Structure formats: structure tokens, C-alpha cells
């Protein structure tokens, strides 16, 4: 009995992911098959490739690189100015903090003036 890697691929890709990601048709075929079928399609074994075969495939297909995710900028203007040192979701929190600070300090000042604790 041979031992197989314990990798479990999903049987389908969720719609919200599929709309954003380009997936190799060969990978989609492999997702539908059993481990033995996948090994046969990829012309390999559970023990991996021999060094000669790996070198031949590297020369033929290139390195096994994973594509990088392209992120859409929150604001085209912000990206063009390179003005976003913090993630875009922090800016509303920073603005809200500043507004609360101003409101609370002014309220405290008015309260202290009414009590005549400051002049």
C-alpha cells in the first residue's frame, strides 16, 4: 500500500473567488479527479519526479511560479500621489478620532468655564 500526500483540493471554486481569479484549466481538471487520476494526468508518482525529469520540465515549462494578486486601488488619485501610508480603512478611523477629540475637548472646556474652574 502506497502512502499519498494528505492534500485535499476543493471540488469546486466558490463563485466570488472564481470571478476574480484565473485558474489553469489543467488545475480545474485535477480538482475533479481522484489522486490516482491526477498523478496519471501529471505523469508523475506519489514519490515525485526524478532529477532528470524535473530538470527537463523546468527547461520546457519554466519555474513553478504562483501568480500574484493584483489589488485595485481604493482611490486612483491616492495611488497616483503615493499618499496612502496606512491602509485605506484606517483613514476614516483617524478622522473620527480627531473629530471626537475636538468635540470632547471643547465640551470639557465649556463645562470647566461654566463651573468657573478655569477662566
Q: Does 109 share its domain with 83? A: yes
In residues, how long is the chain?
119
Does one domain contain both 82 and 59? no
Domain with 81, as residue range(s), is 76-114
| Domain co-membership, 21 together with 60 | yes
Q: Is the full-model pTM beyond 0.85?
A: no
Q: Do 49 and 80 fall within a single domain?
A: no
Give me the residues of the chain with pLDDT under 70, please: 1-23, 66-87
Radius of gyration of the chain (CA): 29
Cα separations (Å) of 95 from 56, 77, 88, 98, 101?
Answer: 57, 19, 12, 5, 10
Residues 28, 82, single domain; the answer is no
Q: For residue 12, what is the DSSP state?
A: S
Spatial contact of 112 and 118, defined as CB atoms under 8 Å apart? yes
Q: Do 4 and 55 fall into the same domain? A: yes
Residue 98 has a pLDDT of 93
**Residues 58 and 8 reside in one and the same domain:** yes
Residue 91 located in a structural domain:
yes
The pLDDT of residue 1 is 45
Task: Identify the pLDDT of residue 99.
Answer: 94
Q: Count the alpha carbons within 13 Å of 21 in the hemisphere toward its beta carbon.
A: 15
In a domain, 119, yes or no: no
Amino acid at each position: 500500500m502506497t502512502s499519498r500526500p494528505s492534500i485535499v483540493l476543493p471540488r469546486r471554486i466558490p463563485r466570488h473567488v472564481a470571478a476574480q481569479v484565473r485558474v489553469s484549466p489543467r488545475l480545474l481538471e485535477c480538482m475533479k479527479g481522484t489522486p490516482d487520476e491526477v498523478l496519471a494526468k501529471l505523469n508523475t508518482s506519489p514519490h515525485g519526479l526524478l532529477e532528470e525529469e524535473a530538470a527537463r520540465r523546468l527547461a520546457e515549462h519554466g519555474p513553478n511560479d504562483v501568480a500574484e494578486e493584483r489589488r485595485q486601488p481604493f482611490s486612483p488619485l491616492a495611488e497616483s500621489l503615493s499618499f496612502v501610508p496606512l491602509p485605506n480603512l484606517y483613514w476614516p478611523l483617524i478622522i473620527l478620532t480627531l473629530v471626537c477629540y475636538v468635540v470632547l475637548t471643547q465640551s470639557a472646556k465649556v463645562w470647566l468655564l461654566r463651573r468657573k474652574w478655569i477662566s
